[in-house]
Structure 1
Amino acid sequence: MGVSILNIMLKLQDAACSLQDTVKSLIPCLLQVKDKEEEKNCPHRIKQTKNRKTIVINCRECEAGSSLNDPQCRENIFGILRREVHADCLVLSRLYERDYEGKSLSLLYDLAGFKGTVAAYRSIEVVPEACACPEKKACSLERKEIIASLSETVGTDPLKARLELGELIHKKKAGRVPETTSICLECSECFYSILNEIEEKISCFPEVQITRKSGKKIETLIKNTPGEITPASLSRNVSLSLSGAGKKQENNRQENERKENQRQENERKENQRQENERKENKKPDDNFFAYESRIKSHVRPPFSSSRIYTEAPENTEFLECYDINGREGRNLEVTIYRYTDRPERLYMIRPPEYNLRQEELRLLEKIRRKMIRHRPKDLAFADPTGAREYFKRLAKDLLGEELLESGKACSPDELESYADLLARYTNGLGIVEDLLSDARITDVYINAPADTNPVHVVMEGEECTSNVFLSQDDLDALVSRFRTISGRPFGEAVPVLELNLEAFGVRVSVIGDPLSANGLAYAFRKHSLTPWTLPKLINTGSISPFAAGFLSFLMDGQASVLVAGEVGAGKTSLMTAMLLEIPQKYRILTIEDTHELPTEQLQTLGWKVQGMSSHSSVLKSGAEMSPETALRAALRLGSSSLVLGEVRGPEVKVLYEAMQVGNTGNSVIGTIHGSSVENIYERVVHTLGVPPASFKATDAVIICSGIRPGGSMKKLKRVSRISEVAGTSIEDPEPSELFRDIMYYDAAQDCLLAGEVLEQGQSELIGKIALKWGISIDSALKNIELRTRIKERIAAEGDRSPFLLEADAVSEANNMFWLLSDSKKAGNGGFEADLGASLRDESEELYRQWETWFENFSRVWDGAEKKGNGKRGSEKQLAQEKLLGKEKQLPEIKITS
């Protein structure tokens, strides 16, 4: 018994060893088959982000055409798609990056899956088992060969297989298959029902163009399929240098309609010719299927992974077109469309690098790779301007060396443009720079997930979708640069990053995981490259000339003002313009968590400005001071006008305490979020805990609003209310008892109108400033009227000569007004005239003197502007010397031996 068990165990062991040897012998064969399969497919990699899967096929070393029209490439692409399912984008990477996504990729997946659809029928019963005809075996073999051939063809050319299938069915319908008996007829019907079933499963395929090898087009089997999610495709042979506006667009549309009508007529003729050829029983073997004629891809340069669609979708209407002249002569075309099925506009930008010639692209890509490998030793990357200039010079040097070695020619302007392009995509903001370079855009929003959501822009108060889709790679590169520039942490522990990019004039806010679950999201808020002025706000319609004169009077009178409004209503712009109305002899202290006020530009213009920083209101860093500490420090820096970037926290109690006891010295100006004076009072008193008695230290509250005229989608920035704080004796007054409107906005007239207290001359605030100046109420009103005339004249002349609206011109006009006013007061011995007529005469004489100066000033500056050519500063100095009668003669140069 023991021996038999032992024998059984030995036999089992031998069987196990034999099985193991068999498996080992099969493994190399399986690996070899797998290796051959991998060799057959093109080299590719998978890029997986949180919301997007991309298949990148490397076609740089491929000798084939890297095209869907090439049989070998098509077979490899279909093989990869059958292995890598559920991708969001397919990229053919060669000289250009060709992206297939959306409907185009879905169609490719359908074509790739056609092989599995047909292969499933290879094991089906093609002849009934009950058939007793002697031809049964031959019929079965023939029909299986048909399906096997169809299955083989579909792997490389699914449309050819579809056409062959159609030909077989057509022969049956035409009666070309002889049927000898009723049994054979029934058997044949059974087989053709199988073919009809296969055709029905693939009948959902659109149509694509077929061309005979002789070059004649005979049929379309695939309809026009866009190669992207929403807008359209780009061919490198299509020029992007469109000109003008609507006329050319209309001509293009008419031409497209003519071509479409001609195409339909040709298609009808070709279909008729195809029917005739079918009757002649021609074989489809000489057909060429132009897959790329309808399955569109998006083409982009390799140094940009972001997608920019350059054709407007069908559900849009053209509105306007204009050009942006960027730095280094970079010209960008912008086209605005209106959607026909929703109340939204489409903002389309066409960067020139998406239409580069192949030789240009090869050159730039070669230099870009050299720049990526370059490692500077002593460069401070925290300085965006310096780093950008460094990489631009490096690009120019490398380009020059490459051009000399290759013997190719390049003009200085082209060299400068190429260098700027390389610096833009290596150390700059890439395509975001182009969006920010448009003066009509105020905000740029990138919502997560960014690779599936288009970039949104706010153009002149109206939010528009764009044709730009930023990639995850570009977003990661941006946040890395921002983290380096700001020196602040960013990650899962600190998912918020805020900073100012002064080189681009924008404030950036970034949020990431876990605050933004779908990835990085960005908000770019543009500052004006030049400070806002009251005359400029008049011309934009934000304020009226009288409101500008009144605000100038408040600032000169050292009033304490809160500028309120919702996000993006223009609070900071208005406050910047009001700062220019503070005489330059007074000192200004600013406290901001994110620097938006143009302190350096004000210093350049002659104002005594000291900027102070506090930590962010969102995330508090230990290396930065709290707003409360910064405010207490500011109060100890002496008498000065105090400007708070935003009133929002416990520092408000310290501020109002200082205002109440007079420690601030001069005026206090701050911005605060709120849509009405009542909301401001509720927030300051009840939310932030400022006593009602302390709130009375506020002289006026100005409300900025985003007005939607007539309920339209467009938003206009307007000052909607200017209210003074009454000195009521009620201990805890209601807002209606505390605020009195000096001016209010009338939507029907789109203008600020005088309130009741102003019309009746009962403004406590004007009386308070008049008392401080030692003048009457009438004199104060005349002063406001004089300032109104001056602002109105500057604004009117600014329509003709825009440089008169800028801060440097307005500041000199204000300085001259103050100089003339002081000289007039000194001539009167410092006393106010008693008679009203004399007061009017003095005001008129002061305006005439200022007007004479302004006419000479604008004339000289206009000449300096016209011949400035990059030397505007020296021309301004010369103009000022001419105005003051101090034009200097150049010293004589003596040459001695």
Structure 2
Amino acid sequence: MPKTYTFKNDVLKIDCMNCIYGSSVEDFPECMSEVINDLMSVKNAKSTILAKEREYEYGFEQTRMLLEIAKLIEKITVNKWFSYKNLVTEKCDRCVSYRTDFLNNLISQKLRTDPIGAYVMLIRRIRHTKVLTERTKGICQGCYNHYLKKTLGPLKKRLEETTLIKKSLDFLPGYKIGDRSIYRQIFIPSVRPNFTYTKYLATPPDKAEMVDSYQVNDAKVEIYKVPGEVRRLYQLIPLEFGLEEREYELLDRAKRYMASHRPLEKEEFASSEVRKNFYNIGLDMLRDLAGSANISEDRLKIIASILVRYTAGIGILEIILSDDHVQDVFVNSPPGTSPIYLIHSNYGECSTNIVQTKEDAELLATRLRLSSGRPLDEANPVLDAEADVPGGRARVCAIMETLSPGGLGFALRRHRERPWTFPLFISQHMFNPLAGGLLWFIIDGGRSMLIGGTRSSGKSSLLGSIISQIMKNKRIISVEDTLELPLTKFRELGFNVTRLKSRSVITMVETELPTEEALRVSLRLGDSCLIIGEVRSTEALALYEAMRIGAMANVVAGTIHGDSAYGLFDRVVNDLNVPPTSFKATDLVVINNTLKSADGLHSFRRTIEFTEIRKHWKKDPSEEKGFVDLMTYNAKKDELEPSSTLLAGESEILNSIARNVKEWKGNWDAVWNNINLRAKILETIVKLSQEAKNPELLEATTIVQSNSQFHILSEDVREEVGFMDTEEIYKRWLVWFKQHIKELTEA
């Protein structure tokens, strides 16, 4: 077989491009023989790659099984197990030629191409020899016993000590020599086309049970329950791993041509403009390269999309980040040693069938450096950046030496491509309509609030949904060190948005402005609603300055880590050195949390606390009744419930809003009715969306229009009847919303 191999970094790579056979040991005996022969030469390989149109990689355990066979063959040869004295006794040599031919064929041929078949042949020969021993006497009987004891028996024992034979024993009943189905159960390589470095495990583990499947763009996702594992398997089946051989060749050639493009620093990472240009250029190139290959235009467009993914994009990670069920993605160091892990909204932490190699990791790191303008090197081993891909966005944290001994590693926090909205949260049971109506009322009242919670509890998502409830006639300024909020989408919806990017507290890039200075700049940019991505460090002092300035004017909102109102206060005062009384500038604390089921296998996000911060305390609000719950989470009912303070109309934050509104001053019933009206509108949106089977009604495009109509209709009703008639407002709003649904249906 015309094959050559290279051995580097304990990886045996065999070039099979000129081979007339395939390139997998489980399917082709010739390939298995070649691998075993090469392993006898290199001795200590930890991984084996067979490279043709695709690369089949066999990891450490699978390579070790073949290496054991190679070492056994070598040991048999070196130690001369088949010497004359081991085959026959001194008194008879009649059978020596017959036995030599059998053993030469077994070791030199069969054990290399089909070790399991060789073992079965050996078992049958032992059984046959034992029968002959019983039927003969004298010299022949002694010779047969000698042959069994000195040759066949030891060979059987050594074969049974190998991992490959041990794993095959359960499959042997009914086995026919030459059948390679057992090898397909044992050898499951990671497969990747030549145009990508990513490893792909094509087959799920044996006895794995598929519990779910769905489409993500042009890829298929299957969720498996693996026996003995608490993690589910996220089996991704991307389109690029199912192309025909000629399409692989075409894609590989096009990618090599496209690789000559050198992106400019000003090019936005995977931006829609860059992707569109790459797609058009790639499609034209594919048409030229295809020539007379008889590949249809539709297939060329599919190949062009894949080409863009691996040139202007971030490869297979794009598909994962396009999955609305994916929340976090983890690529652990050192690259290539473990699969990608992710957090799934329905199945929690899952392992995947995708392994990112060192080359993949280095390519991703380079793209992040270019897109963010921030360093990632030994002097700056941490990088915070953003990634925008079709169907999703992500905040990326990259680490490398000297912080990470194993090299490059990545954590990607996925965000929806489109903003979260209150109705979306209600449909996901994050909070109930009353909580949404209350928060909406407070936002319109221009209060200051902090969204607290544990990691991955939905703080930034809730902050983004708060923006969708701000009236479009308000200017919005955001300050973020990593651009997580979907402000580009809000700008497309007609919001007046200005975005400021500040220095990351982790990377400390000197060319960027510190967050506290960016906050002070935002106060000089005019009357605006202020949105702070996350309060992490010394910017807390500037934030409370902004809250005091913004009080009674426009909403000021930010996120911070803390599992309760007091935990948030403790962090702000004791960790971030904000004077205790300055905390009074906070009007409302909203706490999210990730809750777990009793079995510990499932988790879900909930808003668990609405707490108002009262102003008449000096040192400790928890002891001086400065914290008053407006809504608390009832675990039995799995929802937020209003507190007696809220129901009795004793909320200072709501009364302070009412004092400045003519129709609400001194009229708690009017305030409460307005909150319930907002809650009813949110509930109706969710209900009608479910009835119409149209989830688009929950998206920001519709919600922003609905909010605008609510305010317009409220003004119309107030001018017509002299007060805020909530029933009339709801009636008119419902007419508008049903007409809106009809227009969307007919469009």
Global fold match (TM > 0.5): yes
- 2:263 and 2:528 mapped to 1: Cα distance? 44
Residue of structure 2 in register with 1:108 after alignment = 66
- 2:721 and 2:121 mapped to 1: Cα distance? 105
Q: 1:158 to 1:741 in 2, by over 3 A?
A: closer
Return the match for 2:742 from 859, 865, 873.
859
Counterpart secondary structure, 1:591: strand
Q: Which digits, 9 at most, give the CA deviation of each residue in 1:529-549, with x for residues without a partner?
A: 111111221111111111111
- 1:738 and 1:548 mapped to 2: Cα distance? 23
Is 2:168 the counterpart of 1:223? yes
Q: Which digits, 9 at most, give the CA deviation of each residue in 1:721-775, with x for residues without a partner?
A: 0011122244544357211110011111111101120122211111111112242
Counterpart secondary structure, 2:160: coil
Q: 1:155 to 1:729 in 2, by over 3 A?
A: closer
- 1:141 and 1:411 mapped to 2: Cα distance? 61
Residue of structure 2 in register with 1:44 after alignment = 5
Query: Which range moved further: 613-622 or 90-99?
Result: 90-99
CA contact (8 A) 1:591 1:631 kept: yes
Is 2:81 the counterpart of 1:194? no
- 2:479 and 2:504 mapped to 1: Cα distance? 12
CA contact (8 A) 1:565 1:703 kept: yes
Residue of structure 1 in register with 2:56 after alignment = 98
| Residues 392-541 of structure 1 aligned to structure 2 (within 5 Å) | 392-404=279-291, 407-460=292-345, 462-503=348-389, 504-541=392-429
Residue of structure 2 in register with 1:804 after alignment = 697
Is 2:726 the counterpart of 1:843? yes
Q: Which digits, 9 at most, give the CA deviation of each residue in 1:134-188, with x for residues without a partner?
A: x589999999998778765578557476567556644542336998867x97677
- 1:90 and 1:363 mapped to 2: Cα distance? 26
The structural deviation recorded for 1:480 is 1.4
Query: Which range moved further: 853-862 or 549-558?
Result: 853-862
One-letter amino acid of the counterpart of residue 610, structure 1: T
Q: 1:202 to 1:666 in 2, by over 3 A?
A: same
The structural deviation recorded for 1:705 is 1.0
Is 2:733 the counterpart of 1:772? no
Return the match for 1:336 from 206, 220, 223.
223
One-letter amino acid of the counterpart of residue 12, structure 2: I
One-letter amino acid of the counterpart of residue 305, structure 1: Y
One-letter amino acid of the counterpart of residue 160, structure 2: S
One-letter amino acid of the counterpart of residue 395, structure 1: G
Counterpart secondary structure, 1:343: coil
Structure 2: tracts of 5 or more residues without a match: none
One-letter amino acid of the counterpart of residue 339, structure 2: P
Q: Which digits, 9 at most, give the CA deviation of each residue in 1:459-505, with x for residues without a partner?
A: 21622122212222212211112212222111221111111123442
Return the match for 1:78 from 30, 36, 48.
36
Residue of structure 1 in register with 2:17 after alignment = 60
- 1:861 and 1:381 mapped to 2: Cα distance? 36
Return the match for 1:354 from 229, 232, 241.
241
- 1:87 and 1:204 mapped to 2: Cα distance? 20
Aligned residues: 732
Counterpart secondary structure, 1:318: strand
Structure 1: tracts of 5 or more residues without a match: 1-39, 209-220, 226-259, 272-286, 834-838, 865-897
Q: 1:115 to 1:591 in 2, by over 3 A?
A: same
One-letter amino acid of the counterpart of residue 415, structure 1: L
Identity of aligned residues (%): 30
Residue of structure 1 in register with 2:212 after alignment = 320
One-letter amino acid of the counterpart of residue 97, structure 1: E
One-letter amino acid of the counterpart of residue 603, structure 2: K
Q: 1:304 to 1:47 in 2, by over 3 A?
A: farther
CA contact (8 A) 1:118 1:150 kept: no
Bigger-Rg structure (1/2)? 1
- 1:710 and 1:177 mapped to 2: Cα distance? 65
Is 2:198 the counterpart of 1:306? yes
Return the match for 2:440 from 542, 547, 552.
552
Residue of structure 2 in register with 1:640 after alignment = 528
Is 2:611 the counterpart of 1:654? no
Query: Which range moved further: 148-157 or 195-204?
Result: 148-157
The structural deviation recorded for 1:824 is 3.9
CA contact (8 A) 1:444 1:458 kept: yes
The structural deviation recorded for 1:86 is 3.2
Q: Which digits, 9 at most, give the CA deviation of each residue in 1:801-820, with x for residues without a partner?
A: 32222212211221122223
- 1:700 and 1:563 mapped to 2: Cα distance? 9
Return the match for 1:119 from 77, 86, 111.
77
One-letter amino acid of the counterpart of residue 229, structure 2: R
Is 2:718 the counterpart of 1:718? no
Residue of structure 1 in register with 2:562 after alignment = 674
Counterpart secondary structure, 2:529: strand
- 1:789 and 1:592 mapped to 2: Cα distance? 33
Counterpart secondary structure, 1:426: coil
The structural deviation recorded for 1:854 is 2.4
CA contact (8 A) 2:453 2:562 kept: yes
Q: Which digits, 9 at most, give the CA deviation of each residue in 1:41-67, with x for residues without a partner?
A: 94212342xxxx321101112456656
Relative to the length of structure 2, the TM-score reads: 0.89
Counterpart secondary structure, 2:427: helix
Relative to the length of structure 1, the TM-score reads: 0.75
- 2:492 and 2:65 mapped to 1: Cα distance? 61
- 1:427 and 1:692 mapped to 2: Cα distance? 50
The structural deviation recorded for 1:644 is 1.1
Q: 1:321 to 1:481 in 2, by over 3 A?
A: same
Residue of structure 2 in register with 1:211 after alignment = none
The structural deviation recorded for 1:707 is 1.9
Residue of structure 1 in register with 2:683 after alignment = 792
Q: Which digits, 9 at most, give the CA deviation of each residue in 1:63-116, with x for residues without a partner?
A: 566565877655542232023233232111122322223543232112211222
Q: 1:674 to 1:711 in 2, by over 3 A?
A: farther
CA contact (8 A) 1:543 1:751 kept: yes
CA contact (8 A) 2:479 2:500 kept: yes
Counterpart secondary structure, 2:685: helix
